[in-house]
């Protein structure tokens, strides 16, 4: 979507790096969060993941090596940016912050209220800033006002759709002592914040200088996401998160692709 909205040629090496890096970081976060006895965890996902721990390690290693080898094809500034994003992704889970009142350390996600905005920042850097940096060093024309605008749109959208995931995990986060926005303010206020962020994003898109077809496509995609967030009955279904809510990111791209 970044390439389409900024009128840049698609760099498939960048896409492959991002895909592998995302897989590696998500898997690594699960490995770091492994409880002492995962088979007796009260959470079904934890039990299932560590029933397949060997595959988890294999996919993580393969993705990491592939991302590194492909990264060697990048310009040096882009490679450095990739490294910075990798460090940020690791710091999110690595035990580097002392937990107040406890004799243990945790990742940056443990800092009160930081999780949502940290995720939004990493997504902005990876899905907008990183592709743009490589395009810039390929001496392509970059419309920087559109870049900053798109970064803001992505940040608002990602933070908004992350909130329902935190609501889903509210009891698990309390169990692990993770102070997310829903844990701090409650489910209802967290949902209102999610809806407000999406409304701001949709309004900003509508008054932008993009052609009407693109504005409509993006607003409709965000509107569909907003309807998923505000319709409570389907939230009891696990596929709500992994199919419908996550799928709205793909829906944005498809909507823009169809009108460009």
Q: 116 or 256: which carries more pLDDT confidence?
A: 256
Please report, for the chain, the start and end positions of each structural domain, with discontinuous segments joined by +: 1-111, 143-260
pLDDT tens digits, one per residue of 190-215: 888 889 999 999 999 999 999 999 99
pLDDT band at 72 (very low <50, low <70, confident <90, very high): very high
Pick the CATH number of 143-260 from 1.20.120.1780, 2.40.37.10, 3.10.50.30, 3.40.50.1100: 1.20.120.1780
Distances (CA, A) of 173 to 64, 133, 176, 206, 240: 28, 36, 5, 36, 19
pLDDT band at 257 (very low <50, low <70, confident <90, very high): very high
pLDDT recorded at residue 110: 64
Query: What tokens does 14 get?
Result: 């960048």
What's this model's pTM, rounded to 2 decimal places?
0.85
Task: Average the pLDDT over each of 1-10, 88-97, 169-178, 229-238 and give the range with the smallest value.
Answer: 169-178
Whether 79 contacts 72, CB under 8 Å:
yes
Residue 106 has pLDDT above 90, yes or no: no
pLDDT band at 103 (very low <50, low <70, confident <90, very high): low
Q: What number is the average pLDDT over the span 129-142?
A: 95
N-to-C CA span, the chain: 11
Task: Average the pLDDT over each of 45-54, 231-240, 244-253 and give the range with the smallest value.
Answer: 231-240
């Amino acid at each position: 979507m970044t390439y389409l909205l900024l009128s840049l040629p698609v760099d498939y090496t960048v896409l492959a790096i991002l895909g592998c890096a995302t897989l590696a970081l998500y898997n690594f976060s699960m490995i770091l969060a492994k409880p002492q006895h995962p088979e007796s965890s009260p959470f079904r996902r934890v039990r299932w993941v560590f029933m397949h721990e060997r595959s988890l390690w294999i996919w993580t290693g393969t993705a990491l090596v592939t991302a590194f080898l492909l990264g060697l094809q990048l310009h040096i500034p882009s490679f450095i940016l990739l490294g910075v994003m990798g460090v940020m992704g690791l710091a999110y889970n690595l035990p580097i912050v002392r937990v107040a009142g406890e004799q243990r350390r945790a990742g940056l996600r443990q800092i009160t209220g930081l999780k949502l905005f940290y995720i939004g920042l990493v997504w902005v850097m990876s899905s907008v800033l990183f592709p743009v940096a490589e395009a810039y060093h390929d001496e392509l024309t970059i419309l920087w006002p559109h870049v900053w605008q798109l970064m803001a749109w992505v940040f608002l959208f990602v933070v908004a759709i992350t909130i329902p995931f935190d609501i889903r995990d509210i009891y698990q986060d309390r169990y692990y002592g993770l102070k997310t926005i829903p844990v701090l303010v409650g489910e209802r206020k967290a949902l209102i914040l999610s809806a407000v962020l999406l409304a701001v994003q949709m309004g900003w898109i509508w008054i932008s200088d993009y052609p009407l077809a693109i504005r409509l496509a993006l607003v409709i995609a965000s509107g569909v996401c907003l309807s998923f967030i505000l319709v409570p009955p389907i939230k009891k279904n696990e596929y709500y998160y992994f199919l419908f809510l996550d799928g709205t990111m793909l829906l944005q791209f498809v909507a823009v692709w169809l009108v460009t």
